[in-house]
Amino acid sequence: MAEKLVIMVTHGTGHPEHVSIPFVMAVAALASDVEVVIGLQADGVEVAVKGRSDSVAAEGFPPLTKLLADYAELGGKLLLCGPCVKARHIEATDLAENSEVVAAARFVAEITSATNALVY
C-alpha cells in the first residue's frame, strides 16, 4: 500500500502560519512520493479563492502563493467543503483550478483510506 497523507485545513488567510505549514508539509510529502490530499473546511476554503492568498506570508516560510503553486505543480488537489463554500458565497469560477467542492462523505473516504492525517 502506498503512503497517503490527508491534511485538513480549517484556518483562513488571516492565520498565515496555520495556512502555510500545511502546504509546506504537503509539498515535502509530494516530493517524497507520498500521495497528498488537502481538505479545506470552515475558513480554510478561503485559501482556494484566486488572489486571496497573494499577500499571505508567514515569517520564515515561503509566501503562500508560492506554496500553492508548488503544490499544484506537483499534482496536489484541493478538496473544499461544499457547505463552507456556499456559506461564504464563493463561486466555482473564483476557485483555483486544482479545486474540487465535495461533501462530507468524500472527506470521510479520503481520511479512512489514508495512512496518516494532519489537522491545522
Q: Percentage of the chain with pLDDT > 70?
A: 99
Classify residue 36 by its DSSP letter. E
Nearest to 53 by CA among 20, 10, 89: 20
Full-model pTM: 0.94
Angle (nearest 5°) at CA 99 between 93 and 101: 85
What tens digit of pLDDT does each residue of 48-106 get? 999 999 999 999 999 999 999 999 999 999 999 999 999 999 999 999 999 999 999 99
Nearest to 21 by CA among 54, 65, 67: 67
Nearest to 98 by CA among 28, 43, 36: 36
Q: How confident is the model at residue 1 (pLDDT cuts 50, 70, 90)?
A: low
Q: How far is CA 76 from its chain centroid?
A: 9
pLDDT of residue 14: 95
Q: How confident is the model at residue 35 (pLDDT cuts 50, 70, 90)?
A: very high
pLDDT of residue 2: 86
CA distance 39 to 35: 13
- All three cell numbers of 94, joined, read 473564483
Domains in the chain with CATH codes = 4-119 (3.40.1260.10)
